[in-house]
C-alpha cells in the first residue's frame, strides 16, 4: 500500500469516528394549543399520577385527598418543579463539560517544492498534530466547580419543593377556613332569623320597640352578607387550590378533600432545638453554602491559569514520490506570561468569592430571623387559641343553662336564640385563632424545612423525573 493510500485510509477512519460520535439535533417545537389541551385533561384520577403515588408508597385516596397525597399530586403536575428539575439536569450535564479533556487538532496542508532533485512530483503533504496538555490541576478545579454548582441546583430544587408545598397548604387552608366560616355563619343566620321572627311577634303584641326589631334585622342582613362573602371565598380558594396543584379548576369537581392535617397543632415544633436543625436543612442556606464552595473552586481555577498550558506538536512531511525526502518534527510551545499573570480574572474570582460569602451570611441571618419570628408567632397563636377555646366552652355551658331555664319556664325562646348567636360568634373567633395558628405553623414549617414536617421520601420523589413526562 502506498503512503498516499495509507494516509487517506487513516484520514477516512478518523473522519468516520468523528461523525459517528456526534450528537444530532432533533427539533421538538412547543405548541401552545397542545399544551393547553394537555392541561385541561389533567385530573387526580390520571393513571400516571396513580402510579407516581404508588411508587412513593402513597396509595390513591379511596375517599378523601389529604395534604400528603395532594402534595405528591402537585409534585407530579407543577411546571415549576419540572423547570427546577431540568435546571438540575443542566447543572449535572455541565459536569461532563468540566471533566472533558481538550481534543488534539490535526492540520494538513499542501506544499510545493520544485527544487527537490530527482523528485517526480513537487507536491509535499505535511501533517501536524497539536496535543494540548493542561497544567496546574485545572481539570480538577473545573470539576469541583461544576459539582458544587450541581449541588446548589439540587438544593434549589428542594427549595422549589417547599414553595410548591407551601402554596398548596395555604390554598387548602383557605378552602378549609372558608368552608368552616360559611357553615358557622349559616347556623348564626338561622339563629338570627329566629330572633327576628320572635321580636316581630313581640312587636305586634306591643311588647318591644321597632328599634329592637330593626337592630335584629340589620344583624341578620350583615350575617347574610358575610355568608355570601364566605361562599365567594370558597370558590376563590378552590381556584387557588387547583392552581397550586397544577390542574384546571374543573378537575376538582367531585373530589373530596380531607383537612384533618390542618386540625393538628404539634407542640414539639416550638422547641428551640429546631433552630439548629433548620439551619442544617434549609434549602436556601445549603444552596448558598454550595455556591460559596463553587466560588472557591472558581478562584482556584483562575489561579491555576497563571501557568500556561503546554502544546505538544509532532509533525511529519513527505513527498509523494520521493521516499527519502521525509521529515519528522516535534514542537513544544507554551505562552510566555510576560504581559500579564491572569491578574484580572483572579481579582474577579476573589471578589465573587467575597460576594458569595456575604450572600451566605445574608441568607443565614434572614433564616434565623424568619425562624425566630415564626416560633414566636406560633406560640402566641397557640396561646390565643387556648383562650378562645375556653371562651367557647363557657358559651356552650351558657347555652345549656339557658336551654334548661327555657324548659323550666324561667326564660323565653328569644333568650336561647340570642345565646346561640353568641355561641356561633365565639365559634368563629375560635376558628379564626385556629386558622391563624395554622398559618403560623405553615410559616414555621417553611422556615424550618425539616423532615419532621415533610417526609424525606417526598423530597426524593420531587427530584426524580415524573413518569410519562415529556420534555423537549
Which of 346, 357, 347 is CA-nearest to residue 290? 357
Looking at the predicted structure, is the pLDDT value of residue 2 above 60? Answer: no
DSSP string, 216-247: HHHHHHHHHHHHHHHHHHHHHHHHHHHHHHTS
Q: In order of start, what are the domains of the chain with their CATH numbers?
A: 64-100+134-306+341-463 (1.20.1600.10), 101-133+308-340 (2.20.200)
Distance CA 453, CA 161 (A): 13
Distance CA 152, CA 95 (A): 13
How much is the average pLDDT of 121-129?
69
Instruction: pLDDT band for 371, please (50, 70, 90 cuts).
Output: confident
Q: Give percent of the chain above pLDDT 90.
A: 28
For position 137, what pLDDT does the model report?
Answer: 81
Judge whether 423 and 396 are in contact, CB under 8 Å.
Answer: yes
Distance CA 431, CA 202 (A): 34
The reported pTM is: 0.78
Give tens-digit pLDDT for 133-179.
777 788 888 888 889 888 888 888 888 888 888 899 999 999 999 99
Q: Which three cell numbers stand for residue 239?
A: 381556584
Looking at the predicted structure, is the pLDDT value of residue 97 above 60? Answer: yes
For position 344, what pLDDT does the model report?
Answer: 86
Distance CA 282, CA 300 (A): 28
State the average pLDDT for the chain. Answer: 81
Looking at the predicted structure, is the pLDDT value of residue 8 above 60? Answer: no
Helix (H) or strand (E) holding 461: helix 456-463
Instruction: pLDDT band for 93, please (50, 70, 90 cuts).
Output: confident
For position 429, what pLDDT does the model report?
Answer: 94
**Beta strand pairing call for 123-133 and 111-112:** antiparallel
User: What's the full length of the chain, in residues?
Assistant: 472
Out of 11-20, 229-238, 239-248, 275-284, least confident range: 11-20
- Better pLDDT: 430 or 6: 430
Distance CA 227, CA 183 (A): 8
Looking at the predicted structure, is the pLDDT value of residue 99 above 90? Answer: no
Q: Which three cell numbers stand for residue 325?
A: 525526502
Looking at the predicted structure, is the pLDDT value of residue 409 above 50? Answer: yes
Q: Which three cell numbers stand for residue 33?
A: 394549543
* Partners of 111 in beta bridges: 124
Cα 187 to Cα 35, 134, 428: the distances in Å are 45, 79, 11
Give tens-digit pLDDT for 29-67.
877 888 788 778 888 888 888 888 887 777 777 678 888
For position 82, what pLDDT does the model report?
Answer: 81
Distance CA 204, CA 210 (A): 10
Q: Which three cell numbers stand for residue 411?
A: 326564660
Distance CA 416, CA 403 (A): 6
Distance CA 100, CA 120 (A): 45
Q: Which three cell numbers stand for residue 278?
A: 433548620
DSSP string, 347-403: HHHHHHHHHHHHHHHHHHHHHHHHHHHHHHHHHHHHHHHHHHHHHHHHHHHHHHHHH
* Partners of 123 in beta bridges: 112
3-class SS at 319? strand
Q: Which of 99-108, 151-160, 299-308, 429-438 tops mean pLDDT?
A: 429-438
Looking at the predicted structure, is the pLDDT value of residue 6 above 90? Answer: no
How much is the average pLDDT of 5-19?
56
- Better pLDDT: 171 or 459: 171
Distance CA 354, CA 233 (A): 48
Q: Give percent of the chain above pLDDT 70.
A: 78
Give tens-digit pLDDT for 179-215.
999 999 999 999 999 999 998 888 888 888 888 889 9
DSSP 8-state secondary structure symbol assigned to residue 117:
T
Looking at the predicted structure, is the pLDDT value of residue 216 above 60? Answer: yes
Distance CA 233, CA 440 (A): 21
Instruction: pLDDT band for 319, please (50, 70, 90 cuts).
Output: low
For position 151, what pLDDT does the model report?
Answer: 87
Amino acid at each position: 500500500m502506498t503512503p498516499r493510500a495509507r494516509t487517506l485510509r487513516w484520514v477516512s477512519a478518523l473522519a468516520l469516528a468523528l461523525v459517528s460520535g456526534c450528537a444530532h439535533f432533533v427539533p421538538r417545537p412547543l405548541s401552545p394549543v397542545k399544551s393547553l389541551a394537555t392541561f385541561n385533561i389533567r385530573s387526580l384520577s390520571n393513571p400516571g399520577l396513580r402510579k407516581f403515588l404508588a411508587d412513593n408508597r402513597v396509595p390513591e385516596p379511596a375517599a378523601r385527598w389529604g395534604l400528603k397525597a395532594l402534595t405528591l399530586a402537585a409534585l407530579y403536575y407543577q411546571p415549576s418543579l419540572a423547570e427546577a428539575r431540568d435546571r438540575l439536569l443542566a447543572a449535572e450535564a455541565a459536569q461532563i463539560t468540566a471533566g472533558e479533556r481538550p481534543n488534539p487538532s490535526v492540520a494538513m496542508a499542501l506544499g510545493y517544492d520544485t527544487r527537490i532533485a530527482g523528485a517526480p512530483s513537487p507536491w509535499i503533504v505535511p501533517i501536524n498534530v497539536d496535543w494540548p496538555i493542561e497544567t496546574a490541576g485545572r481539570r480538577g478545579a473545573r470539576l469541583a466547580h461544576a459539582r458544587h454548582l450541581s449541588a446548589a441546583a439540587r438544593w434549589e430544587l428542594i427549595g422549589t419543593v417547599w414553595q410548591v408545598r407551601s402554596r398548596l397548604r395555604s390554598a387548602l387552608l383557605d378552602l378549609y377556613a372558608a368552608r368552616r366560616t360559611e357553615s358557622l355563619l349559616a347556623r348564626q343566620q338561622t339563629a338570627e332569623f329566629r330572633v327576628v321572627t320572635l321580636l316581630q311577634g313581640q312587636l305586634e303584641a306591643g311588647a318591644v320597640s321597632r328599634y329592637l326589631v330593626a337592630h335584629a334585622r340589620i344583624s341578620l342582613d350583615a350575617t347574610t352578607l358575610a355568608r355570601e362573602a364566605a361562599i365567594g371565598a370558597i370558590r376563590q380558594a378552590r381556584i387557588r387550590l387547583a392552581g397550586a396543584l397544577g390542574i384546571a379548576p374543573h378537575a376538582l369537581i367531585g373530589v373530596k378533600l380531607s383537612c384533618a392535617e390542618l386540625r393538628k397543632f404539634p407542640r414539639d415544633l416550638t422547641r428551640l432545638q429546631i433552630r439548629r436543625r433548620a439551619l442544617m436543612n434549609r434549602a436556601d442556606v445549603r444552596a448558598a453554602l454550595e455556591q460559596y464552595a463553587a466560588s472557591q473552586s472558581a478562584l482556584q481555577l483562575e489561579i491555576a491559569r497563571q501557568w500556561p498550558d503546554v502544546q505538544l506538536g509532532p509533525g511529519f512531511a513527505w513527498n509523494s514520490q520521493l521516499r527519502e525526502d521525509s521529515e519528522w518534527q516535534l514542537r513544544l510551545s507554551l505562552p510566555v506570561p510576560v504581559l500579564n499573570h491572569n491578574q484580572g480574572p483572579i481579582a474577579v474570582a476573589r471578589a465573587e468569592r467575597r460576594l458569595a460569602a456575604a450572600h451566605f451570611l445574608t441568607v443565614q441571618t434572614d433564616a434565623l430571623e424568619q425562624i425566630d419570628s415564626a416560633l414566636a408567632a406560633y406560640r402566641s397563636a397557640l396561646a390565643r387559641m387556648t383562650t378562645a377555646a375556653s371562651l367557647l366552652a363557657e358559651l356552650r355551658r351558657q347555652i345549656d343553662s339557658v336551654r334548661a331555664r327555657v324548659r323550666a319556664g324561667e326564660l323565653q325562646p328569644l333568650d336561647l336564640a340570642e345565646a346561640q348567636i353568641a355561641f356561633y360568634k365565639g365559634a368563629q373567633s375560635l376558628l379564626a385563632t385556629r386558622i391563624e395558628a395554622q398559618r403560623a405553623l405553615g410559616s414555621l414549617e417553611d422556615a424550618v424545612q425539616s423532615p419532621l414536617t415533610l417526609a424525606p421520601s417526598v423530597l426524593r420523589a420531587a427530584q426524580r423525573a415524573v413518569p410519562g413526562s415529556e420534555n423537549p
